[in-house]
Amino acid sequence: MNAARVTIQTGDFDVSAEIAALRAGDGGVGAVASFIGTVRDRNEGGGAGVVQRMELEHYPGMTERAIEAMIDEAQARFDIRAARVIHRVGPLEMGEQIVLVVVSSAHRGQAFQACEFIMDYLKTDAPFWKKEHTAEGAHWVDARVSDDAAARRWGLKASNA
């Protein structure tokens, strides 16, 4: 099994290889749930124009620790066997992969819930900053109230609104 639970990187990731590594040697895995986030051409709200590319920044060390804590919390809440998060930083073009969350469990329900929980937690509590570039110029993207609502559903403190 891949020992790293969290990786922050500039390069792309291979979803198949990551899932295979997460499952490797664990005969108790009966389900794997994954989420892949990609750069879309419009931000929610739409007023900023077509997104040509984006940049993601993070606080090295702090980001990894925050995501590790998220995975620990997911393991405490759900019956999961393993989890893996890869998040890209730096410049990204439209359509490129940004984030991968993969969770293994004996059963699908726990895998789905834990994957969604980690992703909702990432959107509200991971120290990333996103800048979108459009024909009208570049701007930093504010956190969304809808992300706070998703976090509250899990009983997490939401602070983006």
List pLDDT tens digits, range 3-34: 689 999 999 999 999 999 999 999 999 999 99
User: Distance between CA 140 and CA 80 in Å, rounded?
Assistant: 35
Q: How far is CA 73 from the centre of its chain?
A: 15
pLDDT in tens, 95-153: 999 999 999 999 999 999 999 999 998 988 888 999 988 888 888 887 655 556 666 66
Q: Look up tokens 């060390």; give the residue.
A: 61
Q: Which amino acid makes up residue 39?
A: V
Q: Is 88's pLDDT higher than 60?
A: yes
Query: Would you list the DSSP string of 53-110?
Result: EEEEEE-TTHHHHHHHHHHHHHHHHS-EEEEEEEEE-EEEETT-EEEEEEEEESSHHH
* pTM for the model: 0.86
Burial 7-34 (b: 16+ CB within 10 A, else e): bbeeeebeeeebbebbbeeeeebebbbb
Collapsing DSSP to helix, strand or coil, 97 comes out as strand
Q: Which amino acid makes up residue 92?
A: L
